[in-house]
Structure 1
Amino acid sequence: MIERIPIALTGYQDAAATPGSDVDTAAWRIISSPADCEAADEAIIPCTTRQPDVARKLLTECQPSDLLRVTGYLTLPGTADGGIRLDVDSVEILWEPPLQEQPPDHPTEDHSDRDRAIQALAEALTGLPCTTTAGEPPDVRINIGPIGLHGLDIGNCHSIDVTTTHTDQLTSAVTAMLATLGSLPPQAGTGLNALSPADIAGFFDDLDLTELTELTGDADASRPEHGVIGPRTWDDLLGNSPGAATDDNDR
């Protein structure tokens, strides 16, 4: 006798559903990815249904990469070389990708930074150090995935179940982070480049005090009859500065 085990699974639809051999039946596969599992631990489960409403939904509404919640009975093989099959009684679409596949002429892009960021965010949310009430069941699902999803991006999709307590604590943490970022001085815009203490010390180290004394020590050099020899000499040494120019009317 073939054993039938009641089960509920969440997974991504692997490929488009196909009509079964009988009327109002359908067959498809889902990729089951339990929380915290590695890619090598994912399982592809073949599914069938004899429920007319479920079959129509799979054939007309569901598409590859949809996140599905299916319930039914897992049928174990009667022989060692047989295969398992999930006979589905109900299906719920939990999340639909914004785009099933890229256009044919879409250029190949490097999404390694994006994929790394998604993975890091998923790990951070999965490892939330939050305190929960004993026995509080998860009641909020956070789905993370890339925009423009196609078949190769299924491995970058994550579904994380958290409790209301987790959600409230996460909201408080994000609000505090935004408040901290908002209190920091703006980083963009134009302005003067700040000099470090080392830059300022280096500037004065380059000055020749003996030369300065020789240039400014002669009182006759600053008299009107000698014109603008003093200021120009300073400009030659230190560089031109606004307001240092003198015309003939100022003599």
Structure 2
Amino acid sequence: MDAIPLALDGYLAADPEPGDRDGTASWRLNCSAGTDHLGEEAVIPCTTMEPEIAHAMLTERQPGDLLRVIGHLTLPDTADGIIRLHADTLEVLWEAPMLDADGDDTDTATATDADRNSAIAALAEALTGFGQAAPGPGHSIRIHISPTGTLGSGLEHCHSFDVTPAMAHRLADYIDAMSCYLDSERPNGVALDPQTIADLTELFEDIDLIDLTNTVLNATRPENRPAVPQAMDDMFGDVPAPEDTDP
């Protein structure tokens, strides 16, 4: 069967291995994005006869690296055969952090890991639906999400999504909306925009406290009126007392 030209993004699933001949190498690529020929979450065997690619794979790459492999996919002639991607070009899209061999952080997954992985799964599900909401022709934008740290044992938590530019703009708008805080909810150290401060100052300067106090008192039961000035004083500062206002 003829080889199919293909560019495939995926995470390096394990340490690459040298081939039978010098200048060759083989590895497995965990691909989480569907293509015309492959299903999602497929692990694709890759090989190369390009000495530069083989050397880079054997000496520079590690599990968890996000790679783009461009080459030709060969499909098996029999049902028990193996598909294989023969790499002609290799691009490194993201490098996984180096593993600290002297560290002791090799314990089993903690509650924090479980929370992180569950958050990734929820985000992946949301982005999957978001990307499928507006398929169509034209250029797309690829989003990759994965845990931080060395990913050799956590590739099931790595995902890739393609969204249209229009969807990317909508996603940016949603994130901007999430970043808006009420003044009482703003994190420490986050400064308001000067124009926003000016608008808020103008708004409060236009408030007539006497008129506002009268309106609140007139709408309050007589036995509860003495508490109104104190409550408004806590909110706005010094306000007129009930005896200074119209009944």
Which bracket does the TM-score occupy, shorter chain normalised?
0.5 to 0.7
Select 2:118's aligned residue among 102, 116, 119.
116
CA shift, 1:76, in A, is 2.9
Instruction: Determine the structure 2 residue equivalent to 1:16.
Output: 15
2:208 alignment partner in structure 1: none
Tell me, which stretches of 5 or more residues in structure 2 are unaligned? Answer: 188-247
- Larger Rg, first or second structure (1 or 2): 1
Q: Contact between 1:35 and 1:160, CA under 8 Å: does it hold in 2?
A: no
Deviates more, 1:51-60 or 1:98-107: 98-107
CA deviation after TM superposition for structure 1 residue 33, in Å:
2.0
Matched, 1:154 2:152: no
C-alpha contact 1:47 1:86 (8 A) present in aligned 2: yes
- Aligned residue for 1:128, secondary structure, equals helix
Cross-structure match for 2:201: none
Aligned pairs (5 A) from 1:72-83: 72-79=71-78, 81-83=80-82
Counterparts of residues 140-151 of structure 1 (less than 5 Å) = 140-151=141-152
2:129 to 112, 127, 130: 127
Task: Give the 5 Å matches for 1:70-219.
Answer: 70-79=69-78, 81-100=80-99, 105-106=104-105, 107-108=107-108, 109-110=110-111, 111-128=113-130, 135-138=137-140, 140-179=141-180, 181=181, 183=182, 185-186=184-185
Name the aligned partner's letter for residue 177 of structure 1. M
Kindly report the root-mean-square deviation, in angstroms, between the aligned alpha carbons of the 2 structures: 3.1
Q: Is the 8 A contact 2:4 2:72 kept in 1?
A: yes
TM-score, normalised to structure 1, is 0.61
What CA distance in whole angstroms lies between the structure 2 residues aligned with 1:5 and 1:12? Answer: 21
Contact 2:63 2:150 in 1 (8 A): no
Corresponding residue pairs, total: 181
- Matched to 1:62, the amino acid is R
Runs (4+) of structure 1 exceeding 4 A deviation are 78-81, 99-104, 129-134
Q: Matched residue of 2:184: which SS?
A: coil
Which one-letter code corresponds to 1:175 in the other structure?
D
Percent pairwise identity: 44
Using structure 2 for the length normalisation, give the TM-score.
0.62
One-letter amino acid matched to 1:119: A
CA–CA separation in structure 2 for the residues paired with 1:43 and 1:133: 22
Quote the offset at 1:77 in angstroms: 3.3
Compared CA separation, residues 81 and 141, structure 1 to 2 (3 A): closer
Deviation at 1:105, TM superposition (A): 2.8
Q: Which runs of 5+ in 1 are unaligned?
A: 189-251
Amino acid at match of 2:170: Q
Give the distance between the partners of 1:87 and 1:80, measured in 2 at CA: 20
Contact 2:34 2:40 (C-alpha < 8 Å) held by counterparts? no
The DSSP-based 3-state class of the residue aligned with 2:153 is helix
